Structure formats: C-alpha cells, structure tokens
Structure 1
C-alpha cells in the first residue's frame, strides 16, 4: 500500500496490479454477456469507486495503529474514504434498486473484504492469504457483469481469471519482496504448472497463455527485473488474458 508523507494523501491508490485485477474480469464478463450497456458503465464506476473508498478506510485503520504519533497521516485518508464512498453509493444504489440481486453479490464479497480489512488493521497487507482473498471477489465480478448483461454464469472464464490472478500473488512476491526465497520460487512455479494443466481442462487453447505465464514465473525471478518492468509485464499478461477469454468463449 502507498505510504503518505506529511498531511498529503493521494486520492488514487498506486496499486497498479490491483487496477488490472479489478478491470479484466469485469470487462470479460461485460463483453461476454449478450447485452453490454449503460448499466455496466454505472456498475464499473461503483466498483472502482468502492475499491478506492475501501482502500482509504483500510489505510485509516492501519495508520491509526502504526502512526499513533502522527495522527494527521491517518486523518488524511478520512476525506477520500467519505467522499469517494458517497460517490460509490450514488452509483450503486440506483442499480441495486433496479437489480436487487446485486445485493446478494455484495454480501458474497463482504467476507473477503473483511479479511482484507483485518490484514490492513494488523499492518499485514502483504500477507499471502490477504492477496488471495482480494482475488476472489475481483474475479467474481465476471459473473456479476455477465448476469447484469442478461447472460448466464460463465464459470470457465471466471475460473481462468482465478487461476491467473491467484498466480500473480506468489509470482510478484518472487520478483520483489521474496526474490531471494527458493521456497516461494518453487511454490510459484508449481502453482503455475498446475494452473496451466487446469486451464487446459477449461479450454485447450487456454494452455497457450497459461504456458507463457508459467514460463515467466520460471524464468524471470532472480534476473534483477526492475519493478516498473514487472508491472508492465503483468499489465500485458492481464490484457492477454482478457483477449484470450473474449476470443475463446
């Protein structure tokens, strides 16, 4: 998570990987549905604004504990949380009135958000389980977007998103915070090998992008790849996943 200096707080979270995870499943569900439309645009706004509001609320909780001697740092997140949260509600409430089943989707996501909030409060946002908990509701938005467009529940594309974004959690650690850990490296490669096999069961053609994800998980750690390059490569991989899902389903 971003670290603040003084009283200034950036309103837009600098979690670049999170934006891809928020957008790709949603866009896949939208364009795989029979009737993409204005409701998707409103829901996307509510979804992204909700993420920003929750991010700031979680940072407020975290910083109240770790920056007790600098309360202004924590308070800097209050205004963004309230303002952006209100904007998210303005977008979400009309949709929930028109489509009450969206409330069930929100309730299904709530336990995962609670897990993320607990880890933020404890100052352990980098924990492996915290990353996995964030992946599940993000990928679940594929189902929500597809249903909103009058479609069914495309479980195979959703599973593919879960396999990919679940793999980014250990992989990114091997590139940055756990780059010297052989345990993380072996676990990441083993995960990606299993994910490739499972993706092939979902759709044989999906083995191609997932084999590429396996290759990067095996070849890139330990090569001193700079963090911005890691981010750019993951953005390209996310776009590749979206293109694959739209072409194959």
Structure 2
C-alpha cells in the first residue's frame, strides 16, 4: 500500500504535533530517551485516530457506493493503534500521570470524532479543538523532562496554531470570503497583544504572522507556497520559544 494510504497528508497537522512537543522537550532540564518514545507513541496515536475517524466518516456516508473506501483505513488504523499501545503502555506504567494527560485529551478527540461522523472535518470549531491537545503536549513533554508546567510557551503555541486555522482557510477554502479575512486579521492583531504579555520577544514572530494574514490572502498564492510559509512560521515559533523561555 502506498505511503499516502498509511500516513495523513495533512502537513500542517504534523507541524502542530511536533513543534509544541519539541519545545517542551528541549525546554525541560532533562530531555531523554523517554521523549523519543513518547513522540513516537503520540504520532502513532494521531495516525490511528485519523484512520479511525476516516473509517467512521466513510462507513456512514459512502459505504453503499464505495465500500472499499472505508476498508482501506482499517489496516493502517489497527497497525498504528498497536504501535501506540506497545509504546504507550510501558510509559504509562512508569509515569502514571500520563493517563491524566490522555484523559484530558478525551473531550477534544470526541469533538473531532463527532465532526468526522457528520463529514464536517473542515469546520472551524473542529480545527480549533484539534489544536488544544497538540499544544497540551508541550507541558506534558516538559514535565516528563523534569520541568514544572511551562504554561507560557504552551499558551504561545496555542495562540499561533489557533491563528493558522482561520488563516489557512482564507488561503484555500475561504479564499473568496472577505469576512474570513477580516476575522483572521483581527485575531492575529489580538494575538500580538496576548503574546507580548507572555514575553515582549514574542511580538516579533507574531508581527510576522499578522503581516502574512493581511498581505497574502487574495493574491493567488499556490498551496505549496502556503505550506512553506507555515513551515517557516512554525520553525520561527519553535526557535523563539527555545531562546526566550
């Protein structure tokens, strides 16, 4: 089976999964092998959930026309779920508080599953809900490495990745919506203020995020360029967090 059938092609989601985790890992005083195991388990859990939600969406809506469309998600989902359990169970035995972190993700996973069930995965609330557990991995990784609960860098990640949800819509699905553009620009303006309260240095990358939210929509930017800009934005956030906190 082709790699595209096993791994989600949502490139922005991978940045959202890894940037907060890496920030929490390298801001901790004692990063170690457990972080690599947790990252692998976290990634496998995400892929397993993706396939499970796609199976549910296709099973409920398209089974009568394309029964194989849902079935193609069964094997990848089971394989990645098994990887998640094999890696995650020993970690949870050694660090039982990880079970509380997993439980805290539950309501957001439930929201994403509900939107998948009704075939509305691109809805704005669904995207915003998906951001929360991803950014919550920053304090999880931090605590695993002996830190406290680094809430300020986690809040900065939340501000950035929440902003990517409406911004990307203005570049692709809602590129003709003036209302979405105004809402995205307004959010990014407020985000600069909030980020500056966390650290004045955060005003620098967040000013760049506002500039791209104002300048790029409506200019016919190609999707690969949109992705490249977001990769640069995510890298800038990670570098800033590691330098500031």
By the TM > 0.5 criterion, same fold?
yes
Structure-to-structure mapping, 1:81-230, within 5 angstroms: 81-230=77-226
Report what 1:23 is aligned to: 18
Task: Show CA shifts across 1:102-147 (max 9, x none).
Answer: 0000000011011001101110000000000000000000010000
CA distance in 1, matches of 2:128, 2:11: 16
Report what 1:51 is aligned to: 46
Q: Does 1:40 align with 2:35?
A: yes
CA contact (8 A) 1:113 1:134 kept: yes
How many Å apart are 1:8 and its aligned residue? 9.7
CA contact (8 A) 1:28 1:142 kept: yes
Normalization by structure 1: what TM-score? 0.96
CA distance in 2, matches of 1:162, 1:45: 22
CA contact (8 A) 1:112 1:137 kept: yes
Task: Show CA shifts across 1:186-206 (max 9, x none).
Answer: 000000000001101100010
CA distance in 1, matches of 2:77, 2:4: 11
Mark the runs of 5 or more structure 1 residues left unpaired by the alignment. 1-6
CA distance in 2, matches of 1:88, 1:8: 19
In the alignment of these two chains, the number of paired residues is 244
Report what 1:10 is aligned to: 5
CA contact (8 A) 1:30 1:149 kept: yes
How many Å apart are 1:65 and its aligned residue? 2.0
